[in-house]
Amino acid sequence: MDDDYYSIDSILAENQKIQCTFKVDIPDMGHLDGGTERDIKALSKVQVPMWMVYILIYSDYADFNIPAPFQARVRNALNAEARSVKLSNLVGQGGLWYGLGRMIMKILDDAPANEISNILVKVRFPLRICNTFRARLPEVIDQAQHFASINSSGGGAGASDGTLAFREGLDGTERELFALAQDSARKTKRWYEATERGRR
Amino acid sequence: MALPPSLRTSVIPAELELIASEQLVEIIPLVAMERTAFISGAYGPLRPPVKCRVPIWMATNLKLKKKCHIVPPDWLNVEFLQGRLLLETTRPEFSEMPFRFAEIAKVLLDIASEDFQEPDKIRSLLKDIREARQAKSREGLSKLDHSELSLPNLSSMEINEIRPFFVRSMGVLTQLVRDPAGRQMEL
């Protein structure tokens, strides 16, 4: 999530590919697209990993399109009910949806000439992503605390399909929060249940 | 970072209990003892049946050896807790409780339940209060903001329970919310 050079999460989120449209011919770089073409032609669309997108855009070699996980279809689904969207399916490999969204936000800032960074996107985009987080957070914590309490008392799973689907749809950042909340609730519960006399 | 990951996020409940054990509680001693110096201070003298204020760790030690009765603090009884439970369930804010009430109540009830009038009633009241307060801190979660969150009268045990994920969520929100003022400075 952060910009720390050593942060593994940050590196993984940068591995996500997004689609770029090249503005100029690039010789001898056709292998980037995995095709057999020798050169990248101007106006061709290529999937490029995030870490390479920065330099392409700064150097004005390419424009990028807002990737599908942040397009109108997902946006509408999130506005309708943030908790029923499976964020982990939107981005592959570990699923750091928030991390990717933040990086795209940063590029939009840094390339004001870019045609995509019009006012609408600039205003709505950041609002939406943090609203999603805020709308989903209580559910994440609720479930974490619920699971902390049933696991330690040895009960069965006993979860309905809806909560199961929600847990499967958690993004990497939310998973981390889930683990933190569960751990802390479990520790506190254990303390409340331990008796004092046994210890002394 | 020599600590294991599970201990890095916050202190553990047992450590909070240790800290709370420094607080003073009234006891009725059953043995006589001169004023004695400990690392945290001098306590005593114990002259039965005169009441004396000693730290909770000392009271529990004496109690387990059956050398004193513990006088419950004035907030640890059925009437007071019932009043607080009523406030807790009718008002939106947290009601005022001693900061370390959860730890102190648990230690005293575990060690000296026979010194209380109705220990089981007190236990169930404390549990109800705790659950009512948990529901409120959950509400606070939905109001979470990237810069500040104010939940007055939260007790130490409750703060400790919510600390790891509240801190982390606020960190995430800081990353996601774009500050217009900060952006202009960058440009």
Contacts of A151 (CB under 8 A, 6+ apart): A186
Q: How confident is the model at residue A64 (pLDDT cuts 50, 70, 90)?
A: confident
Query: A117 pLDDT band (50/70/90 cuts)?
Result: very low
Please report whether residue B118 resides in a domain.
yes
- Assigned domain for B56 exists: no
pLDDT, tens digit (0-9, with 9 covering 90-100), for B32-47 = 999 999 988 899 889 8
d(CA A129, CA A124): 9
Cβ burial B167-178 (10 Å sphere, 16+ → b, else e): ebbbebbebbbb
Contact B111 A197 (CB under 8 A): yes
The residue ranking higher by pLDDT, A55 or B81, is B81
Q: Do A48 and A85 touch, CB atoms closer than 8 A?
A: no
Query: Considering the domain boundaries, does residue B141 fall inside one?
Result: yes
Q: Residue B137: give its domain's CATH number.
A: 1.20.58.1020
Global pTM reads: 0.77
**In a domain? residue B140:** yes
| Cα→Cα distances B1→A5, A50, B5, Å | 19, 32, 9
- Beta strand B68-71 with B24-29 is antiparallel
Q: Do B6 and A192 touch (CB under 8 A)?
A: no
Please indicate, yes or no, if residue B79 is contained in any of the structural domains. Answer: yes
Minimum-distance CB partner of A185 among B6, B161, B173: B161
In a domain, B38, yes or no: no
Does A137 contact B at CB distance below 8 Å?
yes
pLDDT of residue B69: 92
Contacts of A165 (CB under 8 A, 6+ apart): A84, A86
Q: Residue B105 sits in which domain range? A: 10-21+73-186
> Is there a domain that residue B65 lies in?
no
Q: Which candidate from B144, B146, B168 shows the least CB-CB separation from A180?
A: B168
Model confidence pLDDT, tens digit, residues A94-115: 667 777 777 777 776 554 433 3
Q: How many domains does chain B have?
A: 1
Does a cis peptide bond (omega within 30 degrees of 0) precede residue B48?
no
Chain B partners within 8 Å of A136 (Cβ): none
